[in-house]
Structure 1
Amino acid sequence: MVVHTVTFAQRLREVFELLDADLRVQVVFTAAPHAFGSGVTHYLRGLGIATVPWEEALRADFDLALAAGSRGVHELRAPVLRISHGAGQIKLLTDVSLLVPGEPRVPGMLSRRHLVHEGRVVPAAVVYSHERDLAELARSCPEALPVAHVVGDPCVDRITAGLPRREEYRKALGLEPGQRLVVVTSTWGPASTFGQLGSLLPHLLGQLPGDLYRTALLVHPNVFAGHGMWQVRGWLTGCRGVALVPPEADWQALLIAADWIIGDHGSLTAYGTLTEATVLFNPGPRPEISASSPVGLLARVAPVLSALHPLAEQLEYAAGRRGPGQYAEAAASLSSAPGEFHQRMRSVVYRLLGLGEPARPPVVTPPSPPLPLEAWEAHEHRGVAL
Structure 2
Amino acid sequence: MRFGIGVRALGIATAMMGAAIAAPATAQDDAAAESDIPTDLNILMWTDPQRDFAFPRMEDLAPVRTIANGETFRDLPSGPDLEVSVTMDGETWTLDEYLEDQRAAGVVVIHNGEVRLERYRMGADIDTRWTSFSVAKSFTSTLVGAAIVDGHIESLDALVTAYIPQLEGSGYDGVTVRQLLTMTSGVRWNEDYTDPQSDVSLFNLVTPEPGVDPVVTYMRTLESEAEPGTRWLYNTGETNLIGVVVANAVGMPLADYLSQRVWSRIGMARDGEWIVNAGGGEIAGCCISATVRDYARFGLFVMEGGMVGDERIVPEGWYEAAGSRQADIGIPGRGYGYQWWTFDDGAFAAQGIFGQGIFIDPARNLVIASNGNWPLASNPRYSEPRIAFWRAVQAAIDAESAE
TM-score, reference length from structure 1: 0.30
* Bigger RCO (CA 8 Å, 6+ sep): 2
